[in-house]
Amino acid sequence: MTKLFTLSVDTLGSETELNDILKGLNQSLLRNLNYKFQLYGPEEIIKKKIEKYKRLIKVTEIIDCDSYITMEDKPSDILKSKKTSSMYLAIKSVTENLSDAVLSFGNTGALMSLSLLNIKTLEGIKRPAIASIWPNMKGESVVLDLGANTKLDSRYLIDNSILGASLASILFKIDNPSIGLLNVGKEDNKGKDEIKLASDQLRDLSQNFSVNYYGYIEGNDISTGSTNVVVTDGFTGNISLKTAEGTAKLFQSHLEDAFKSSILSKIGYFLSSLAMKSVRDRLDPRVHNCGILMGLNSLAVKCHGHSEYRGVSYAADIIYSLLDNNVNKKISDYVSEMHSKLKN
């Protein structure tokens, strides 16, 4: 019997338009027929806007709520006053086994705090990490942490390496994904002590067990695809993410200006339009904008607060793929195996 997967969606608390959320979910549903959705938000407004998506209506439950967590709300205040908010209720749906995963476009800190409190971390993982799939010259790589934990700690870097490798193994269907530790240089004497300690431990795991540790990598190695997994702390990772997004927008802007500069350029663009569209789609930060909260007992995914329908659709596709591959069970087994080897 084919299993149905239910995704709870927090529709409030961001600049993402409800129309984009519905259109994105509908597109994902066309590709993933065994999907169901719970939408948390104002029932009357959602009912009105979902009418044109006949297929989506049939598999969607609307949970009425108008309370939401703002981008300015502090995690410490949320537990006191926001227990009826759309994000809180969407997360509780997962913990009560009413849905399989949660998707939000809202406050990242709030999503992290509420997920930690309710969904909780896998055994052996101290802090979750935000992971994303980045395009590179060789295909794609898993990059983490992108902002969940800004403290630089060797234990967190080891955990991130284990989580990233398990995700890459599942998504990219490779047995032993390579792991690179982001640093200011590739020489052994470069970097802070916590990075050096993590590198030594990863090297030990690589020599004695089936961990494919590549070594240090630098910022430019992310785009060349030197490794399947790029590991860093949340502070550095978030800066890298925002820099990559800005660079992609700059590239697209210069490209558009160049093709508009003359008649010959416009003809050249027309002749190469299909190829250029492929490049734009591959590098478009509006599409590759979802962060997976790794290390939790269930799936929680954060999308950009100003997502368009393509980004929503991409995120829903990723979530479905992870659920269909029983990702949390596989990650839990992988984490347990790696931590037992670390203890030995």
Question: Average pLDDT over the chain, rounded to whole?
Answer: 86
Q: Report the relative pairing of strands 299-303 and 101-104 from DSSP bridges.
A: parallel
Per-residue pLDDT of 317-337, as tens digits, reads 999 989 998 888 888 887 777
CA distance 284 to 282: 6
Name residue 38's beta-bridge partners: 8, 61
Please tell me the least confidently modeled range out of 26-30, 106-110, 242-246. Answer: 242-246
Q: Check residue 339 and give its pLDDT.
A: 67
Q: Is the pLDDT of residue 43 over 90?
A: yes
Q: Is the pLDDT of residue 288 over 70?
A: no
Q: Check residue 270 and give its pLDDT.
A: 58
Please tell me the least confidently modeled range out of 37-46, 119-128, 250-259, 330-339. Answer: 250-259
Please tell me the least confidently modeled range out of 64-73, 235-244, 303-312, 332-341. Answer: 332-341
Element (H, E) at 81: helix 75-81
CA distance 260 to 293: 41
Q: Check residue 334 and give its pLDDT.
A: 76
User: Domains, the chain, ranges and CATH?
Assistant: 1-123+295-326 (3.40.718.10), 126-286 (3.40.718.10)
